[in-house]
């Protein structure tokens, strides 16, 4: 079963996909739009990816505040999740994404990537972190490991 990971931002959506066994996440692309509320082409591209990879579930980063509260970004993410569910008919799991972008930046810095190159792919790498964390939790839960 393939799972799609998304990092939804104000003008970009980072996209990652799982392998067929659900063990690893790989980055696919960054879907960009000119205006925050113009989502038609973004949703159409996500639909294409879902069909191409035969995706069965979507994990969408949920940008909670560090104190575990929800704010405006969470509300926009919830609205986007509703749009995805209506349009694609798939289960959308909201996944706590706190520090995923920070982790993405740090991994690219550690890998020696130049700043100007990082800006182009940070959302995709964040989507990989979101999806991989979800996959790891699923794997640990299936093995009965409560320490996640």
Which residues contact residue 79 at a Cβ distance below 8 angstroms, ignoring those fewer than 6 apart? none
Query: Domain 2-142 is of which CATH architecture?
Result: 2-Layer Sandwich (3.30)
Characterize the bridge pairing of strands 2-8 and 55-62: parallel
Give the pLDDT confidence score for residue 64 in this predicted structure: 85
The pLDDT tens digits along the chain (148 residues) read: 899 999 999 899 999 999 999 999 999 999 999 888 889 999 999 999 999 999 999 999 999 878 888 888 899 999 999 999 999 999 999 998 876 666 766 776 777 777 777 777 788 989 999 999 999 988 888 877 655 4
Give the pLDDT confidence score for residue 99 in this predicted structure: 65
Q: CA 76 → CA 48, 70, 81, 118, 124, distances in Å?
A: 22, 11, 9, 25, 19
Contact 23, 31 (CB under 8 A): no
Give the pLDDT confidence score for residue 45 in this predicted structure: 97
122's tokens? 């940070």
Which residues contact residue 64 at a Cβ distance below 8 angstroms, ignoring those fewer than 6 apart? 70, 74, 96, 97, 98
Give the pLDDT confidence score for residue 148 in this predicted structure: 46
End-to-end CA distance of the chain: 22
Domain ranges of the chain: 2-142
CA-based nearest residue to 124, from 22, 10, 13? 13
């Amino acid at each position: 079963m393939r799972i799609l990971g998304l990092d939804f931002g104000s003008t970009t959506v980072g996209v990652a996909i799982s392998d067929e066994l659900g063990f690893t996440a790989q980055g696919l692309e960054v879907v960009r739009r000119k205006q925050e509320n113009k989502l038609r082409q973004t949703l159409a591209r996500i639909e294409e990816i879902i069909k191409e990879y035969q995706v069965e579930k979507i994990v969408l980063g949920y940008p909670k505040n560090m104190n575990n509260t929800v704010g405006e970004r969470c509300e926009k993410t919830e609205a986007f999740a509703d749009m995805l569910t209506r349009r694609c008919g798939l289960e959308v799991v909201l996944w706590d994404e706190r520090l995923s972008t920070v982790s993405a930046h740090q991994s690219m810095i550690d890998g020696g990537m130049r700043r100007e190159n990082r800006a182009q792919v940070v959302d995709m790498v964040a989507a990989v972190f979101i999806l991989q964390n979800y996959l790891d939790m699923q794997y640990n839960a299936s093995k009965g490991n409560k320490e996640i």
